[in-house]
Amino acid sequence: MKITNLIKAAFRLKNVPRLWKVAEVITIPKPGEPPHEAASYRPISLLPVMSKLFGKLPIKRLKSIIERKTLILKHQFGFRRKDSTIDQVHRITNIIENALEEKKVCSAVFLVVTQAYEKVWHEGLNYELRTILPKQHAEILESYLAERFFRIKQGDVYSERKEIKARVPQGSVLGPVLYQLYTCGLPDLEISTVADFADDCDINSKQQQREIYREITVINQI
């Protein structure tokens, strides 16, 4: 009952307590990597239990708003119910098969955003949230992102707290949804087919072979 009252108070005041936003980072050694190098360890962020409980409540409300306003791009299959990597693979292979049947050339560009979640700009995300979400939801999420800290735990020893000025919270249920909302403004291409799964992107384009040759000629002349 007390926990419920605390969470309700946070929603009512649109203020997430700072203690709920301190992550403990533990490091897991990678097999076969030299132990004296920092890159040989995989950091795992552990959030407080209250933070995880709080994060589950806005999800249902956000998903209903996202579905009603169609905020997530239709070609984004990541973290969506009833969509999977297999569905996206079938979609891409179907485009390639159709191109072969039509005797066209299917060109594709595959993109991967390195450390996509770590590079989410908080100020830009807050601007996007204020633009597409109701005011009360945008304000509580802005408080959820503000004044976040982490400290590294090694055995029984803790490092000093460091402020997190970017990224969506690792290990939170809200993280993937926030990333989807952050990237929902990306343009959809009319002449090509875009296939996204989280931070992986594929752009396919069907063209006549002579059109491909003409584009290559233009590029060579530049």
pLDDT single digits (tens) 85-114 = 777 777 778 878 888 888 877 777 777 777
pLDDT score for 150: 92
The pLDDT mean for the chain works out to 80
Between 35 and 148, the more confident residue is: 148
pLDDT score for 188: 65
How much of the chain exceeds pLDDT 70, in percent? Answer: 83
222 has a pLDDT exceeding 50: no
Structure confidence by residue, pLDDT tens digits, 135-175: 888 999 999 999 999 999 888 888 999 998 888 888 888 88
Whole-angstrom distance, CA of residue 33 vs CA of residue 38: 10
Whole-angstrom distance, CA of residue 67 vs CA of residue 157: 45
| CA nearest to 15, candidates 143, 142, 125 | 143
Lowest-pLDDT range, 9-18, 77-86, 141-150? 77-86
Residues whose CB is less than 8 angstroms from the CB of residue 165 and which lie 6 or more positions away in sequence, other chains included? 122
pLDDT score for 78: 67
How much of the chain exceeds pLDDT 90, in percent? Answer: 14
204 has a pLDDT exceeding 80: no
> Which parts of 92-147 are beta strand (E)?
105-112
- Cα→Cα distances 21→33, 153, 162, 186, Å: 31, 16, 12, 29
Token pair 């004296």 is found at 36
pLDDT score for 210: 46
Average pLDDT of span 39-65: 85
Give pTM, 2 decimals. Answer: 0.73
Torsion of CA 162, 115, 176, 189, to 10 degrees: 140
pLDDT score for 53: 85
Average pLDDT of span 75-79: 70
pLDDT score for 221: 46
pLDDT score for 217: 43
Tokens of 100: 């072969």
**Residue 216's pLDDT band (boundaries 50, 70, 90)?**
very low
**Residue 212's pLDDT band (boundaries 50, 70, 90)?**
very low
pLDDT score for 149: 93
